Structure 1
Amino acid sequence: MLAKTLPTWVRSAEGLPVEFVFVDNAPDGSCHAIVAENLPADVARYLPDDTNPGFAAGCNRAAAQVTAAHLLLLNPDVWLHEDSMSRMLKEIDATPDTPIAVGLHMHDREYTGIDLNLIGLFIDRPERSRRGPLGPSGGAGVFPTTLFRQFGGLYEPMFAWGEDADLAFRMYASGVRTGTLDLALPHAWGHSVEGDTKLSEFRSFLLARNRVLVAARDFTWPLLLCALPLLLVSHMALAVRRALKGLLGSFLRGIGRGLVMAPAARRDWRGPRFGINDCFSYLRRGRKQ
């Protein structure tokens, strides 16, 4: 996948002050070779990690190496247009203190950032939504580097799927609002688990577990108590959907594991939490910059 997308990144960054940092959690030499073929060593750093600590930890490791004022998290299955980087830099110049949700095109639809959902808790935000995003997607999102580090980056125990929503809820509760840049970047969403039963089960487990962790970490107690009945009903609906796909066991294990991890996850975040007022304010209008 990187062999297909990286050349588009290079073309998009041509002549611009962009530095690349690659974290490879399954190094076998092939990705390093692709990076070396496409980018000179003075603009690209390659960080292998054969322990596979997860997407969240990989992003944090890359962010720790950044010396620029802003960082772009970008999945290897996202293609850039030739003017994508220049448009991002222009948006950064206009709003240097604001995170930016970058638009993605997947499954014949366009999405920009993360949205609040009463059933799934968090979902990809449709580009045409009347309200702004909670925060950027981890697949394509720009952050002021100091802001990303101030919030501790992505919560590493989540491993993958939902860690960007956790950061979005925490930032929103702290008053940080996210702008949008609707680039409609082609994104091969789902390719990493397609046709692989074990990976599909792992993804189902992580999503179920991480929904519990997001609620436990990021919601105030009043919101948790008010939302509990809705969360129970919505998870029953999700259980039916997972059962139809043969993923009920992994879904239930994920919920159970999330409940076990929830107390420690809540203690790990001591900043402002997403409350009832935040919820109603966001659902009514949000804020699009």
Structure 2
Amino acid sequence: MTDRREPSLTIVSVLYGGAAVLESTLPTWRDAVEASVEVVFVDHSPEPLKAHLDLESWARYVWNPDNPGFAAGVNNGVALAESERIFLLNPDVYLTRSAVESVMSLPDSGPYSVALRTDGIDHLGVEYSWWGFCRDRVDSERFLIGPSGGAAVFSTSLVRDEVPFPEHLFAWGEDAEWGLLLQSRGIETRALEEITLDHIGGHSVANPAGQRLKARLLVRNRIATFRRMLSAPAKCFIALPFFAAVAANGLRKVRQGTSAAYFRGVMQGLSMEVPAPATDRISVRQWRRITGRRVK
């Protein structure tokens, strides 16, 4: 009897609806993976996507319609992984065999940020503006806070035992807070620039309800991260421009028709309970460093 070999790589992906999009992307995953790669899908859809897509014949599949959020889905998927290296990937990304081989050939488990191309724009990880807003990192000279939740490589133990994804944020911006947690522990993320994967993007906010949800949760989470991750001096250092940017963004939401949801998110961000980080908060000196230009 042959002993079953543990996989050398686990691809973890959190699903929520979008069956039509996944019918386009997931066949590329099936073609790209090999025997030493396992795929773990954590499905938070109201109805199981396995009823519409062939998932269980080539991947491990877990359905949780209670939907505890993206961060919880990542933590759950990592907990189920049988390898020591995770490739976290959004399901609306086209995967290639060469990309999988590149990840498997890395000298260590990172963390690394993997480049995505969305609407013709390449972005690689997460950055922070000096006034405290997280955003996709499109300028390679900007400091890389951490990997995007859309495409990241890291060790299983990093998330399982040391720095789990922040589940209290539910969705939008949790990868940015995770990056700050890594920075506060002195864990630097490296850019994996050898590959760029095409990313559809936006299928979860393709309707007005999704746009309102994103407007509410993103601002809520930005404020919650400001409250949780910055030291008192750092909060004072950026408080005025940070809340000025929150207000200015609210005016844009009026034009977009999502202002009610947005300002509800502002109030929630100011009042929600945020857990104390199990590490030091970001100091003014650290903030200056990680929001400036990258030093080569």
**TM-score scaled to structure 2, two decimals?**
0.87
Which of residues 241, 265, 277 in structure 1 aligns to 2:274?
A: 265
8 A contact 1:216–1:266 mirrored in 2: no
TM-aligned CA deviation for residue 107 of structure 1: 1.9
| C-alpha distance in 2 between matches for 1:284 and 1:27 | 42
Residue in 1 aligned with 2:218?
A: 207
8 A contact 2:230–2:281 mirrored in 1: yes
Which of residues 149, 170, 179 in structure 2 aligns to 1:168?
A: 179
| C-alpha distance in 2 between matches for 1:71 and 1:213 | 27
| C-alpha distance in 2 between matches for 1:287 and 1:69 | 31
Residue in 1 aligned with 2:77?
A: 62
Which of residues 130, 135, 159 in structure 2 aligns to 1:118?
A: 130
When residues 106 and 82 of structure 1 are mapped into structure 2, their CA distance, relative to the original with a 3 A threshold, is same
8 A contact 1:101–1:179 mirrored in 2: yes
Which of residues 34, 42, 46 in structure 2 aligns to 1:23?
A: 42
| C-alpha distance in 2 between matches for 1:53 and 1:97 | 27
Residue in 2 aligned with 1:8?
A: 28
| C-alpha distance in 2 between matches for 1:220 and 1:149 | 26
8 A contact 1:161–1:210 mirrored in 2: yes
Runs of 4+ in 1 over 4 A off after TM superposition: none
Question: Does 2:70 match 1:50?
Answer: no
| C-alpha distance in 1 between matches for 2:269 and 2:50 | 33
TM-aligned CA deviation for residue 266 of structure 1: 4.2
Alignment of 1:33-112 (within 5 A): 34-36=53-55, 39-40=57-58, 44-91=59-106, 94=107, 96-112=108-124
CA shift digits 1:240-269 (9 cap, x unpaired): 1111101111111001001111xx3143x1
When residues 120 and 217 of structure 1 are mapped into structure 2, their CA distance, relative to the original with a 3 A threshold, is closer
Alignment of 1:228-243 (within 5 A): 228-243=239-254
8 A contact 1:222–1:275 mirrored in 2: yes
CA shift digits 1:54-86 (9 cap, x unpaired): 111111111110121111111111111231100
8 A contact 1:218–1:266 mirrored in 2: no
TM-aligned CA deviation for residue 156 of structure 1: 1.3
8 A contact 1:119–1:235 mirrored in 2: no
Aligned length: 275
Alignment of 1:126-205 (within 5 A): 126=138, 128-182=139-193, 183-194=195-206, 196-205=207-216
TM-aligned CA deviation for residue 119 of structure 1: 5.0
CA shift digits 1:120-159 (9 cap, x unpaired): 6100001x42144110111111111111223442111211
Amino acid in the other structure paired with 1:3: E
| C-alpha distance in 1 between matches for 2:40 and 2:133 | 31
TM-aligned CA deviation for residue 22 of structure 1: 0.6
Question: Does 2:288 match 1:280?
Answer: yes
| C-alpha distance in 1 between matches for 2:24 and 2:77 | 21
8 A contact 2:130–2:292 mirrored in 1: no
When residues 11 and 31 of structure 1 are mapped into structure 2, their CA distance, relative to the original with a 3 A threshold, is same
Amino acid in the other structure paired with 1:240: L
When residues 226 and 137 of structure 1 are mapped into structure 2, their CA distance, relative to the original with a 3 A threshold, is same
Alignment of 1:216-235 (within 5 A): 216-235=227-246
CA shift digits 1:208-248 (9 cap, x unpaired): 10001111111111101111011121112111111110111
TM-aligned CA deviation for residue 118 of structure 1: 3.4
SS in 1 for 2:137: strand
Whose helix fraction is larger, Structure 1's or Structure 2's?
1
**TM-score scaled to structure 1, two decimals?**
0.89
| C-alpha distance in 2 between matches for 1:164 and 1:212 | 15
When residues 30 and 284 of structure 1 are mapped into structure 2, their CA distance, relative to the original with a 3 A threshold, is closer
8 A contact 1:132–1:178 mirrored in 2: no
Residue in 1 aligned with 2:9?
A: none
TM-aligned CA deviation for residue 27 of structure 1: 5.3
- % same residue: 32
> What RMSD over aligned residues (CA atoms) do the two structures have, in Å?
1.9
Amino acid in the other structure paired with 2:282: F
